[in-house]
Amino acid sequence: MGRMGKEFLLLLVTAAIAPASVVASAQDIAAIIDDCESCHGRGGASAWKDIPVIGGMSAFYLDAQLHAYQDGYRPCGEVEYPAGPERGLVGDMCEAVDGLDATQIAAIADYFAEQVFIVPDQQADRQLAEQGEELHERLCAKCHSEGGGLAFDDAGILAGQWRGYLQQSFRQFRAGERWQPEKMAPTVEQLDDRDVEALVEFYVTRAPVE
């Protein structure tokens, strides 16, 4: 989507959310989106293994995650900007969301939810993925339906996600650094390192449901 198309979409989003002021102007939101895409790639299609693909995720999930960063429920590890005008500089998600209001966050979430989830090209260990599928069906499928590939279950898209980001997420959950639903914690606690490797490999071999 070109810049003109992006600004037009964001104008519609912001106007729908708060028509009285076209709140955070389309130009302001577009600038914030450009900053997001410096890390997450155009349309949220990340080309970097430790930075998640976010295009195509549900607006509800994305909105909740941005608020989670603001409220300290997700750790904000430093990363180097891989592209854009700040390429080579170091930042983190806490800095990225600092000062954003609820309307801006909703507009960002809606924009990326309108994009297509682009599955990265990754090699996979099929045998290990089969073990992961069994674990997923037994432990995870109730909440992460369709092999973790359904955006509208609002649990985030796991299928086709970058391996590095999935590994990072599991480390954070297991270390208690990242908030997780109460019903999820007992499941995570029973996973050993090999289980995590298998689950990650299973998700890498999957693709989101269109």
68-127 tens-digit pLDDT? 999 999 999 888 889 888 898 898 999 999 999 999 999 999 999 999 999 999 999 999
Q: Which two tokens stand for residue 95?
A: 């800095």
Q: Residue 4 to residues 9, 41, 84, 104: CA-CA distances in angstroms?
A: 9, 17, 18, 19
Q: List, for residues 150-194, the tens digit of each pLDDT value.
A: 999 889 999 999 999 999 999 999 999 999 999 999 999 999 999
- Asked if domains 3-113 and 126-205 share a fold, the reply is yes
Full-model pTM: 0.86
User: What number of other Cβ atoms are within 10 A of residue 186's Cβ?
Assistant: 9
> Which stretches within 72-142 are classed as H helix?
93-97, 102-113, 126-135
Question: 3-state DSSP call for residue 90?
Answer: strand
Q: Which amino acid does the sequence have at 53? A: V
Superfamily of domain 3-113: Cytochrome c-like domain (1.10.760.10)
Planar angle of CA 165, 169, 170, nearest 5 degrees? 120
**Architecture of the CATH domain 126-205:** Orthogonal Bundle (1.10)
For the chain, what are the domain ranges? 3-113, 126-205
pLDDT tens digits along 182-191: 999 999 999 9
78-85 LR contacts (CB < 8 Å, sep 24+):
79/39, 79/50, 79/51, 81/38, 81/39, 82/38, 82/39, 82/47, 82/48, 82/51, 83/37, 83/38, 83/39, 83/41, 84/34, 84/35, 84/37, 84/38, 84/39, 85/38
